[in-house]
Chain A
């Protein structure tokens, strides 16, 4: 909606250059050296959502434009990001305004102390905003008038960008405006003065994120964190938490059940291999559970909470874990007569995780958004149920021309075979947030779960009568969102059970012979396909390869991707491998058959103790081998062809995502969710409560770290891997330590 009001980005730069030139002229003229500013310290006031297991108690977040009163604003004559004695200083008034004069033009610094207020609310953590001298200069409409400058999170970001990229003000402010797809004047305005409500909303969203980052920066500076010795350095560090740069969007393409060797060594996945080789890779990446549901649940929140099967999310959910997003989507509900959901569901292990943190709640708590895009759901179905079969919705079998499927010389597939829509193309076990009660109860749950096109049955899916599709139903919201930009920061892209290489039974009748026959490319094939040199039945791998390629191409041809000022990554990964032998997992795993693992809870005094409330916990988090993990970014200057062979797991990835989106503070263990906090130092400090790690022969392997390529593998170290990798284990360090996520 709001995107329609936005013009193309290019004209903004023209406007801006002229402003910058004017600024340069002004600064160059000695007569105008003295400068006065009538400015405002402005930004956003964010009311976090109330995340709750109970839907009625969950409240969405809200953001309003705000001004900071009581901020100390100065001309930073020595340009060190600090207001010091001798520098012209003022305190912002109740309306955020300040008036300052200086004999020389300089950058503005606004130190916001805890005595200040933001939109009338006390500021709880000190932070620093800045505006560069060129912005001050550009704010002078006339030599006789004081410059008008809004010192905001975004003006601070321009300063940081200039320092980070060694660019000038014109470039940095244009880059920022282009990233946000708004005029420079709006990007650097007091948000309350931006008339277009769509633009204002975008501005506020960015302002909230930047405020968070610069708050972390001030914490890092005040603590004297390494790399945060100066205000400027701390603001860089806060954008690069644990070495993981801030991205705008990440698309995580979830594929199913293939060991590394099934993809890399069989010849059935040429396109994925091409993407892997053209981008960057993590080559020793481990799953954390077996089968799907624990892995997806771990990807949603760095723990599987003892789930070791694919059971429905209401199974074993009793007592404190009882389902709260009532009524359950059973077939007795109006409009859900076709629902396959069964209730109740007994079980000794709870499948409804209650009261635990996860990426979904964390994003919304920080003013960001998440999406899941799921393919082949029944139009009109409840997202909390598996999709169902429809005998009346039929399409032809896929046909692979010679040379398109592992060197086939004759076509594969039967064009006369008509396949009715099978059940379970969409499964809730493949939703990384489904097991979390507070995700299903979140206000944004319904609107954040969206459709993904490209499915085999899409052309006829709307004719299904199993549910009533809402009017204007879009089978491919993903494509629409890529065009409009209405995507999340974290986007789980979840193909259906044929396109994700999982495989299900799909059969139909040959319209000519009448014979019953299986689909040519959706039969399940073993996770470590080809491990014994036997290759048959790999068709579904090629099917998934084609679909993955379709997705990557779709993302890469979108305006989101081509806006290089947006930092966008695509991850190609599998939920699990196979681990018929060797190591099952690493990095926060529950080693071997240890029967002592318990989750931890944080006490009011900050210490951790054992949480005894999760029944069956100790069977979880034991892993399921290695699979590929590819990273593609839209950054033209980012290094390519990097292979990081350090051991990582889903828990490492969740930690990495928390760093990437500023959801945690690396100096505060408890700010990392669930098992993603299990770093070497954390385990050492809490070993008595983490007995599953006692007696470790390799503490690096056992513990979580961000996926930043920071660890230099010792020279004599032999990589630990599962039988899912059929290349010899690497001995010694990688050829370089370049970060896979590097932007430049």
Chain B
């Protein structure tokens, strides 16, 4: 237990008299856990506070059930690995799915963490930052096609190159055979599996409930959370503090312009996304492509993001072509592949892309006839959609990049503290209380 005398602010006699003071001013999850009957209460030891509802409990069973797939071998958790921030732990740009697990999925798999405050998609969504003009924002999947987590859950279940169930009826039939069938009926009613459409809706609702309620989907246990919520252990190192400045500097990283770190919707804070969409011209991933993207004798197929959606097709939606959703940067350091097509393989490389896409495009794009073919994954008519904000501000090749190598190192150090599950080193906690 920390001695309260070591806290510089605790100079009032009042404090010395209070035995519970230590909980207030120091890091004591253990004692808290004991006193609260096993429920730890500090940020560092965040645990499920509210018990999961019946719907969420059955959703949890479904989430981990490989029987709910065409292959019988793939559950939600196969790609959305709970031990890796609900994102793949491997380095594949595209995960393998389908009835025989031999089909590449359509896009790099995102983390399922911190989705619960995402609003439905709108072409003119209000930006949660209170600064940016309304624009495309919100929705689930990287093109926003699903309005809710429930709607989203149905898509991979039925997608031929993911979980590859034949139909909603196919999923419901499997649910009827599942050993959590009774639990499901308890949660949604005795007739919940009788009508296929309703049953499939309930299944999606269960998966949504699990993701919304289970704290593992939004643990907020990073070092940044300690910093941002005034907790012991949240003191930034000099490199992290410099990195935060790069992150916020509109002329350097300008990261927060999209990976918004302020107060947001529904009381959320620091989600590191504003749910907006941007076309940033990620290079084409020619090595790892979804089935049919590059067939000999056929024109290449481009993933056009929002305007690839049925409801956003055609010339009148061309201003949305190439735009993909801004992901949260929480747990970004645990990712193995980056951007919608997984072309970039490390955080260091991703930051370099932001810094030198324009100043050294040859590092990123192929040469055709000795000329760099910039934005090779976005057809020319859509290239005006490319976002012009710093650091991707379209500066000239050969000009000075927005960030120095030191800036990049610092920025990466900062992004490292967005990883959940941070444990304050005992020494650091002691130092912070003592200083």
Contacts and interface: CB of A to CB of B under 8 A. Distances in A.
A592 B267 contact: no
Interface in B4-58: 7-10, 12, 14-15, 18, 20-21, 23-29, 32, 35-36, 41-44, 46, 49
Q: Provide the main secondary structure of the chain A interface.
A: loop
Interface in A576-629: 578-581, 583-584, 591-596, 619-625
Among B23, B29, B233, chain A packs the most CB atoms within 10 A around the CB of B23
B357 interface: no
B269 interface: yes
B23 A694 contact: yes
Given A579-B262, A580-B256, A696 B25 contact: yes
B32 A691 contact: yes
Nearest to A722: B262
Contact of B10 (A527, A528, A699, A702): A699
B7 A592 contact: no
Contact of A593 (B14, B49, B220): B220
Contacts of A294: 267
Interface string B216-250: 00101000011011111111000000001000101
A688 B260 contact: no
A684 B131 contact: no
Contacts of B231: 591-592, 695-697
B130 A595 contact: no
A700 interface: yes
A289 B268 CA distance: 10
A722 to B, nearest CB: 8
A696 B20 contact: no
Interface string A655-680: 00000000000000000000000001
Q: Provide the main secondary structure of the chain B interface.
A: loop
Contact of A697 (B46, B234, B262): B234
A687 B10 CA distance: 15
Interface string A230-261: 00000000000000000000000000010000
Contact of A694 (B41, B130, B132, B218): B41
B131 A579 contact: no
B129 interface: yes
Given A688-B20, A695-B27, A593 B41 contact: no
Interface string A64-100: 0000000000000000000000000000000000000
B174 to A, nearest CB: 30
A580 B262 contact: yes
B20 A691 contact: no
A596 B9 contact: no
A544 B280 CA distance: 38
A341 interface: no
Among B28, B46, B263, chain A packs the most CB atoms within 10 A around the CB of B263
Given A591-B229, A691-B41, A695-B43, A700 B28 contact: no
A290 interface: yes
A578 B262 contact: yes
B378 interface: no
Nearest to B127: A526
Contacts, number: 168
B261 interface: yes
B8 A594 contact: no
A62 interface: no
Contacts of B44: 695
A720 B235 CA distance: 13
Nearest to A691: B41
A695 B26 contact: yes
B267 A688 contact: no
Contacts of A702: 230
Nearest to B46: A595
Interface in A613-653: 619-625
A583 B42 contact: no
B260 A696 contact: no
A624 B232 CA distance: 22
A621 B12 CA distance: 27
A688 B35 contact: yes
A592 B269 contact: yes
Interface string A696-711: 1111111000000000
Contacts of B42: 691, 694-695
B263 A290 contact: yes
Interface string A150-168: 0000000000000000000
A308 interface: yes
B270 interface: yes
A70 B131 CA distance: 66
A699 B262 contact: no
Given A578-B131, A592-B220, A593-B268, A699 B23 contact: no
Nearest to A595: B49
B28 to A, nearest CB: 7
Nearest to B220: A593
B432 interface: yes
A596 B225 CA distance: 14
A685 interface: yes
B10 A623 contact: no
A595 B18 contact: no
Q: Which 8 A-B pairs have the closest CB atoms?
A: A592-B229, A691-B41, A619-B267, A591-B229, A308-B267, A580-B262, A526-B131, A593-B220
7 contacts: A532-B250, A583-B228, A592-B229, A592-B230, A592-B270, A622-B267, A694-B41
Given A685-B20, A687-B21, A696-B230, 6 more contacts: A257-B130, A290-B264, A624-B263, A683-B24, A691-B42, A695-B29
Interface of A: 257, 289-290, 294, 306, 308-309, 526-528, 531-532, 578-581, 583-584, 591-596, 619-625, 680-681, 683-685, 687-688, 691, 693-702, 714, 720, 722-723
Interface of B: 7-10, 12, 14-15, 18, 20-21, 23-29, 32, 35-36, 41-44, 46, 49, 129-132, 215, 218, 220, 225-226, 228-235, 244, 248, 250, 256, 260-270, 432
